[in-house]
Every structure is written in C-alpha cells, then in structure tokens.
Amino acid sequence: MGVRIVSKKNLTADDEKNISIIKNKRTNYCMGYVSDEYVKYSIDNAHYVVFSEDANRGLKGFATLYHDHKLSKLLIDVICNLGEAKYELRTPQVAEPGKEILDKIVEFGRDTLNVSYLELHSLEHVITYYSKFGWKFLDVNKNNQCVQNKDYSQEIENLKNALKENNPWKITYRLNKFKDFIGSQFAVSTNSCTSALHLALKAVGIKEGDEVIIPTNTFVATAEVITYFNAIPVLCDINIRDHNIDSTKIQELITSKTRAIIPVHFAGNPCSMEEIMVLAKKNNLFVIEDAAHALPSLYHERKIGNIGDITCFSFYATKTLSTGEGGMLTTNSKVYAKSSKINRLHGIDRDAWDRYSDNGDWYYKVVDSGYKYNMTDIQAGLGLCQLDKLEAMNLKREKVSEIYLKGLRHLPLIFLQSEKASRGSNHLFVIKTQNRDELYRFLKEKGIQTSVHFIPIHKHPYYKKTFKYQNRMYPVANDVFNSSLSLPIYPDMKIDEQNYIIDKIKLFFKLID
C-alpha cells in the first residue's frame, strides 16, 4: 500500500483508466460532499493526481493538486491511519525532481478524518510525519492570520488556559475589550445574539402589550424575543437597495403603544441610522440594533455598536467572528449594562468574577428574575483570538466579494447596494434574479450550496396566524424573498472555488438564454 503523486503528463494507462472510472461513476473514493460535475472539473483542471493504493483492492483514495494552491485542505485516505505499519508511504513521483508539491493538496476525501478535527488536532503531526518521506509543506502559519486558515495555535492555548483557570470567569472578563474595539462604554458577553436581544428589551423595560417595530426581512429570533414579553412585533417593509428596514415607512407604523425599533443590518450593510435615530428621538422610542451580521461595519465613520441605545452581535459559527455559539451586547448606558449583566446570570447582583476575585467573597443576592445567558470561558477564549483577527478576516471577505462582482457583473443579476458613506462586513453575498429557484437547483446539482436570506416573518405560519400579518403589506420583502440567493462566502475561500461558482452561474444563464 502506498501513495503516488503523478504529473498529468506522466499518467500510465492504468492511471487513465482509474481516472475515467472516477469521472464517470461516483465511488467511495471520490471527494465527499461534491457533485460528479465538480469531480470532473477538478480532474480536468488539475496539474497532478494523487493515488492512494492497496495491493489487493487497487485504488483506495484519490485527490487532485494544483500549481496555484497553498495547502488549502489536507487529503489522502492514509492520513486517517498515521502511524499504522500497514501503510508504506513512498517519496512522491513527480515529473520535475525536487518540486515542492505537497503544498498544493486540495480536495478533501470522503474516507479522511473530519476536516475540522484534522485541522485542529492533527496538522502538526501530519507535517512532521510526512516530512520524513521528503514531502514539502508551506509554513501554514506564515501568511494565515485567520482561524479559518488553520492557525489555531492561540485558540488552542486559550482553551487550555480556560480549562486550567481556577477563576471560571477570568477569560470571559477579558473579552470586555470588545467594547474598546467597538468604541462603546460597556460590553456584556452572552451565549447568543438572541439572548442579548432579550436582555436588551428587558433593560429598556418592554412589557406586555408594547409594540416593537422590526423589518419583516430578518431571522425569526428578532421577532421571537419580543414575544417573550407578550409584546407585539410590528413588521415594516424593506427597501430594495440593501434589504434593510425602510426608514421612510417607520413613522406610519408608530402608535401610542410603540416602545422601540429594532433595525437589522442585513448582510452587514448598515441601516439608515441617522433617519432612524431622528424618528426615535421624535417619538421617544428606544433603538436596539440587531447587528448579528454587522461586525465590523461602519456607518458614517462610526462602528455599528456605538449608535443606538443598545446593539446586539452574534458570534454563531457562521458569523464574521465566531465562538461556536455566543453573542455580545454593547451600550453607552451604565443602567442598561448593569441590568444586562445581572440578568444574564440568574439575576445575581455580582458575577462570579467579582465573587472569586481577590477582593470578593461568597455572599451574593438575587435582585431580579434573570436567565442563564452567560458566555463560557471556553467561548470567550475563542472570541479573544477571533477579535484580534477580525479586521484581517474582513479584508479577505471584501476580496471575495470583489471577485464575485467582477466575475458576475455582465450577467442579468442585481446586487445589494450600500450607502456610499458606509462599509459593510460582507457577511453575505446576495444576488437577485427572477430565475432564482431554477438557479438554486442548477447550482445544487453542481455541488454548490446556496441559501435564501430570509424567509420573511410575515410568511411563517405561527406569526401569520398569531399577529394577522397580511402578505400584501410587504411587497418589497416579497419580491426580495422570491428573487434573492446567497452565494458561498468566507475568508478562506480559494480563487478556483469562486471561479467554479462563477463559471456555473454563467453556464446557467447561457443555457436559459
């Protein structure tokens, strides 16, 4: 059993036969989670082919290599079995002697370890082991400043510290430096953006029967937290430009029961906060920003998180800063910060940090009903590292967006437009087409997973039935819902992955033309 890396120029007849089998019939040694079309595409465009072979079974694993890749994903079936004697690894056979080829490994195979486990726990061992056989690797930490790019060293160190720390809140307390990044006076970490929104509404005194205005184009959590108080989510339509709440339609929704507005910064593009703040002040309303997508985003040179009365961020796994699950509440009000800090932990008047610090003691008082909404030290340890890398990751997202715009600009598509004085976080890349459903199915067949953001609140059965929302009241949101599609975007996205997506979208419009 062994591994061979062969130049496309030097393939044997048996190699060509194996490749033909892979291209034309899906097998257990083809790449997982991708379509047959992508398998063919990757083979046709590869410079080298990797074969993992078994003397009895023949071909056991398969991968492709490119000149222009930088160790994006480690592959090969044998990585699962490092250290097992039954695997005999041979020095790679390449057309050009001495060429550093193993920094080009690309595709992730079905029979390998889970990629997240491999990246977190095995990368160093893999490099050390394979180096003994003359395989060359890039210094993966040299140019990769983001967690998505496999530099997990500081994250892992912080996790170790969290597990060793006698004071269970020490690292979480350090995450308060988030307020310095945003420019707010206070920051309260939570276990989700949903819980942060709940704490925010409680802090400003929302009660039963109150009305809170929100855009219908948002994730259900924005409306859900309002119902926790038996209050009423009042839906506002959105504008066609950036899919944010239409600030020109808020005034007509305000009644004597209205207490707050929750603008949602869709895809990370800031809402028209100047108009919203003027409306809020005129009508004596609170402004609680849902900034789940908006980190880091700028509105007229001010970071989102430092404009409304309270702002709530999400650190969920798909967000621009991730702690797996987590959130943050920022505010310039000492009263709101104190309320949120108390209520995130059972209504106790002092955090564990205060009680277990050198100046603390065991006694505490429960002064409010409270919830179990605190962030853990493990989450905070990840968050501290992610915060240091946030700007670098955001620049990479900007680059991905630029490549999409350049590659798709001549197609019959509509793109989001943000205010010139604002800078979004590029959390999503959304395109709009009247052929959305057909394009979604076409891309799915090609192994490209897309999504729709969002299903409007007024279309969900529970909310439609409970609050009697009428579909005709939200024409723009309906149009956006029927035409929008979110393409894959993340900091570690490779140029060939984007080119594949762009090529398939071009092919779709060519086929329907």
pLDDT digits (tens, 9 = 90+) for 116-169: 223 323 344 444 544 444 443 332 222 222 334 456 677 777 777 766 665 555
pLDDT at 220: 98
Inter-axis angle of helices 36-45 and 495-512, to 10 degrees? 120
CA distances in angstroms from 366 to 199, 229, 342, listed in the order given: 16, 21, 9
User: Do residues 46 and 64 make contact, with C-beta atoms less than 8 angstroms apart?
Assistant: yes
Instruction: For 169-201, write each residue's pLDDT tens digit.
Output: 566 667 778 999 999 999 999 999 999 999 999
Catalytic: which of 104, 319, 341, 396? 319
Superfamily of domain 390-512 in the CATH hierarchy: Aspartate Aminotransferase, domain 1 (3.90.1150.10)
The pLDDT value recorded for residue 314 is 98
As a whole number, mean pLDDT of residues 311-323 equals: 94
CB of 310 closer than 8 Å to CB of 203:
yes
In this predicted structure, what is the pLDDT of residue 328? Answer: 97
Position 378 pLDDT exceeds 50: yes
The predicted structure's pLDDT at residue 115 = 27
* Residue 27 confidence class, pLDDT cut points 50, 70, 90: very low
Rounded distance, CA 21 to CA 368, Å? 67
Give the pLDDT band of residue 384 (cuts 50, 70, 90): confident
Residue 240's nearest CA partner among 408, 437, 432, 454 is 432
> What pLDDT sits at residue 403?
97
* pLDDT: which is higher, 293 or 99: 293
Q: Which residue reads 């395989």 in tokens?
A: 135
In this structure, are residues 104 and 71 in contact, taking their beta carbons and an 8 Å threshold?
A: yes
Q: How far apart are CA 93 and CA 11, in angstroms?
A: 11
Q: Is 319 a catalytic residue?
A: yes
Report the Cα–Cα distance between both ends of the chain, in Å, rounded.
50
**Percent of the chain surpassing pLDDT 90:** 56
User: 451 falls in which pLDDT band (50, 70, 90)?
Assistant: very high
- Give the pLDDT band (50/70/90) at residue 469: very high
Q: Judging by beta carbons within 10 Å of its beta carbon (0-12, 13-18, 19+), is residue 169 exposed, middle or buried?
A: buried
Residue 48: predicted pLDDT: 56
Rounded to whole angstroms, the Cα distance separating 356 from 169 reads 9
Q: What is the pLDDT of residues 336-372, one digit of tens each?
A: 999 999 999 999 998 766 776 677 778 899 999 999 9
Q: What CATH number has the domain spanning 153-385?
A: 3.40.640.10
> Which tokens sit at 380?
């905070």
Q: What is the pLDDT of residue 118?
A: 31
For residue 416 the two structure tokens come to: 């989001």
Residue 224 structure tokens: 């859900």
Confidence band, pLDDT 50/70/90 cuts, at residue 18:
confident
Indicate whether this model's pTM tops 0.75. no
CA dist., res. 280 & res. 262, Å (int): 11
Residue 406 vs residues 402, 409, 498: alpha-carbon distances, Å: 6, 6, 11
Kindly provide the residue ranges of all beta strands, DSSP E only, lying in 326-442, ordered along the sequence.
327-331, 414-415, 422-423, 429-432
Task: Read off the pLDDT of residues 233-274 as tens digits, 9 standing for 90 and up.
Answer: 999 999 999 999 999 999 999 999 999 999 999 999 999 999
Neighbours of 142 (CB within 10 A): 9
What mean pLDDT, rounded, does the chain reach?
78
| pLDDT greater than 80 at residue 450 | yes
Q: What is the pLDDT of residue 254?
A: 98
pLDDT digits (tens, 9 = 90+) for 211-229: 999 999 999 999 999 999 9
Taking the C-alpha atoms of residue 311 and residue 266, their distance in angstroms, rounded to an integer, is: 14
302: Cα within 13 Å, side-chain hemisphere: 13
- Please tell me the total number of residues recorded for the chain in this structure: 513
